[in-house]
Amino acid sequence: MSLPLVVAITGASGAVYAVRLLEVLREAGVDVHLVISPSGAAVIKQELGVDIDLVRFRPDSLLPSAADSAADPKIAAVRHLAGVSTGDSSVLPVATKAPGEIIYHYHTNFMSPIASGSFLTRGMVVCPCSGSTMSGIAHGSSTNLVQRAADVHLKEHRRLVLVPRETPLSTIQLENMRIAAQAGAVVLPAMPGWYHGVKSLQDLIDFIVARILDQLEVPHTLMRRWGDSAST
């Protein structure tokens, strides 16, 4: 049985990275425990035009429809790698693995299972990671479920990926990143590369999502790797 991932969306610009990450994880058959901060919801509304109800959140209010995902060749490749198929597949007549489930947790619910180290996960991603969230994680504040879950992953020595996007950076922000990295987190700034045959904005988004997936050991073909001449 595959362990779930924790994904947190906080109030930094770059909500599109989080949405794409959730879509890919769902289609790869990975269960996700999701937390969205109030500032994260505000950024989603500002950047994507989606009004998030944090009390009665439904994943389909944020993610692309199954039909839209099915039309994406990159998603089709992810599903193939994960062994996820539909009943009408010409290759696999029956589903061998179901798409992942998204389980939502309110940002102040400290009774959530992800607030405890006894709840097993394969890792956590904070994407995007705001400066205040980075500071709270670096200094062990645990003032909300995002910070508490991150603290749990550090103390349990599980993979924790933090995706800041802000630029430029102050020495205070750099120091917070250093402390978090020294404590065991992977600081993965949203700095897309340009060497993988960029043709669209989606390619730049997928570069960052691909790097996150690499850290979590989730197979994918979202981008062409350095030295790989074959296009994805």
123 marked ligand binding residue: no
37 marked ligand binding residue: yes
11 marked ligand binding residue: yes
Contact at 8 Å (CB) between 110 and 147?
Answer: no
- CA-CA-CA-CA torsion sign (150, 151, 156, 157): positive
165 marked ligand binding residue: yes
Distance CA 77, CA 87 (A): 17
135 marked ligand binding residue: no
For 66-205, where are the E strands, in sequence order?
Answer: 102-105, 123-126, 160-162, 186-187
104 marked ligand binding residue: no
71 marked ligand binding residue: no
132 marked ligand binding residue: yes
Distance CA 179, CA 187 (A): 10
13 marked ligand binding residue: yes
Name the pairing type of β-strands 123-126 and 186-187.
unpaired
Distance CA 28, CA 212 (A): 14
Grouping H, G, I as helix, E, B as strand and the rest as coil, residue 123 is strand
Q: Which residues are annotated as a binding site for dimethylallyl phosphate?
A: 195, 211
Q: Which residues are annotated as a binding site?
A: 11-13, 37, 130-133, 165, 195, 211
Q: Which residues are annotated as a binding site for FMN?
A: 11-13, 37, 130-133, 165
